[in-house]
Structure 1
Amino acid sequence: MDLRNVEIFCGIADTGNLTETARRLNATAMTVSRRLAQLESELGVRLFQRTTRAVSLTSEGEEFLPYARMMLETEETARSLFSSETQGASGLLRVTAASEFGKRHLLPLLPALMEANPALKVDLNLTDSLVDIIGQGYDMALRLAPLKDSTLIAHKLADNPRLLCAAPGYLARHGQPACLSDLPLHRLLKISAVAQWMFEQNGQVVNCPVTAHFSCSSVEGVRAMCVAGVGIAQLTLLDVRDELRRGELVEITLSDVGRHPLAVWALLPTRQYIPWRTTVLLNALKRALQDVI
């Protein structure tokens, strides 16, 4: 299979346009169209639906796309083995992560990582929406919940339980709740999309409806109000790790329920071939998160 044809296929999948793909690859639109036709003939399927304005992947094209990207990545890695100019990881690393986690724990790693790997490029998408990492060509997704889609490969990076916390000043003024039934007596701060807080009791999940005195769409907003002494919040350990270490927040433990267990997961599209650039980031994340308190 001609990898130039595969490269053109991936380019069209990314742009949705033959002319734009030709421009990016420094080729003519006629050459791009001819090479796509060669690939479709070789595979015996139609990879794109074509209209006068755009092209879109057929179901066969969507199925072939992750394998096509894998072929190009494998070729790139093989070439780099014998390149005197290549040091460390190279190529484009595409990552998607939850916004707050990405800002706090991923972005700070990237300057040193890219300095140590000069040929590495990074495309980072910070979003709280679920992303189709196979269809959109991502190397890795970082999520804060267990894997549900069994077609993706999950690597656990760190435990990240939900916990209760408050500022020392708030607890000095209002006292500390001792059990779950004490929470309604306090000022509670929550993320807007969260209807109830979750705890663990004897290995089972306990849901606690929350009437909040303050709610915010972002973790950052809830954390800031909590540090300011406005009330009690339930956030994940990584959301407040630094504040706990500095003494700006204190963890609250209840007698009848415990932390709700969660973890940080790195999701990969396949285990058959993992580019070195993905492995480099995985290792950096594991090192950064291994000292979670």
Structure 2
Amino acid sequence: MRLEDVEVFVEAIRAGSLAGAARRLSMSAMAATRSLSNLEAELGVRLVHRTTRSLSPTSDGEIFLPHAHALLEDKINALADLFPDGSHLTGRLRITASAAFGRKIIAPMLPDFMRQHSSLLVDLLATDEQIDIVGHGIDVALRIAPLRDNRLVAHRLCDNPRDLCASANYLAEYGYPKTLSDLATHSCLTTSDTTHWTFRYGVQRARQKVSGRFSANSIEAIYEACLGGMGIANLSRWYVEPAFATDQLKRIVLKDAQPEDLAVWAVYPTSRLIPAKVRKFVDALETRLVRDPLTRQV
């Protein structure tokens, strides 16, 4: 039994299609179809139901699936024991992150990581949309937000403090908010679906309704609007600290509350069969975040 064929079967079930499995495994759809057919012929059973739009396991496929996971996990564990430095890593690692986090945090660490793993291909999808990581064949997503899909597996990497900020011109024209309730009278720059910001005051938690003339689905667009004096933004400290240091933006400190910290999460499509290439990348990212915490300028 070829483990490559077993891997196609597992990825096809995970992605819900052979095309999705092929993308994830960096192979052609024809090759993926051939691998699955070879595995079914060898086992003498039909493993999947296939239509033009979807794929699902048959009853025999459901029986075989945990054994397929075990076979691939044994392979991963064997390689990890033989090559503890990760020198065997091959294939394509697909990562997604927000545009800002991808540009400022992930992209700068990739050159060293890829030099250490010279046979590994990396595909970084930087987008502010929360995509379906299973359907897109993503190996790991870096997210800074409350997690909505409890079917996914998440590993908390670090705190993600946030700060209120505005340009000196905006504050000179509209005044400096002193308390949480003052924000109701200010133009707040929000993401497109946001109606409230969450704050901490002591051990309590409060949600403040916010609104303004400008909203966007991009943190980078909100940042540029803030620089242009269009309102108050609530942004990750790692993103705005350089602007504080150069006096392009002013940090706003309220007397009675502070923005609630979020966290950076590594999100996986499944708790089983986390590939060595994913574990090595997340380990490298955690090491980088310990060395340069997001609570100060990066």
| TM-score normalised over the length of structure 1 | 0.76
2:93 maps to what in 1?
93
Per-residue deviation, 1:266: 0.9
1-structure distance, mates of 2:228, 2:5: 58
- Aligned residue pair count: 281
Q: Which 5+ residue runs of structure 2 have no aligned equivalent? A: none
Tell me the C-alpha RMSD between the 2 structures. 3.7
2:141 counterpart residue number: 141
Q: TM-score, normalised by structure 2?
A: 0.75
Residue in 2 aligned with 1:175? Answer: 175
Deviations 1:92-136 (A, max 9, x none): 222232333223322232233212211111233334224244x66
Describe the SS at the equivalent of 1:156: strand
- Percent of aligned pairs with the same residue? 37
Q: 1:36 is matched with which residue?
A: 40
1:285 is displaced (CA, Å) by 1.9
1:212 to partner: Cα distance: 0.1
Tell me if the contact between 2:145 and 2:263 (Cα under 8 Å) persists in the aligned partners. Answer: yes
Q: Structure 1 residues 89, 181: closer, same or farther in 2, change over 3 A?
A: same
CA contact (8 A) 2:49 2:58 kept: no
Residue 280 (structure 1) aligned with residue 287 (structure 2): no
| Cα displacement (A) at 1:193 | 1.8
- The residue type equivalent to 1:15 in the other structure is A
Deviation at 1:74, TM superposition (A): 5.0
State how far apart, in whole Å, the 1-side matches of 2:64 and 2:203 are: 42
> 2 CA distance for matches of 1:167 and 1:66?
56
- 1:151-170 superposed matches below 5 A: 152-170=152-170
Unaligned 5+ runs, structure 1: none
Task: Kindly report which structure 2 residues correspond to 1:121-270, keeping only aligned pairs within 5 A, or say none.
Answer: 121-127=121-127, 128-133=129-134, 137-147=137-147, 152-269=152-269
State the Cα distance separating 1:222 from its structure 2 match: 1.0
Distance 1:224 1:180 in 2: 24
Q: Quick one: distance in 2 between partners of 1:109 and 1:253?
A: 32
Gap change, CA 1:64 and 1:221, over 3 Å in 2: farther
Contact residue 186 and residue 212 of structure 2 kept, 8 A: no
Q: Which amino acid aligns with 2:42?
A: Q
Partner of 1:58: 57
Aligned-residue offset at 1:17: 9.8
d(CA) in 2 for partners of 1:181, 1:22: 56
**Aligned-pair CA distance for 1:71:** 4.2
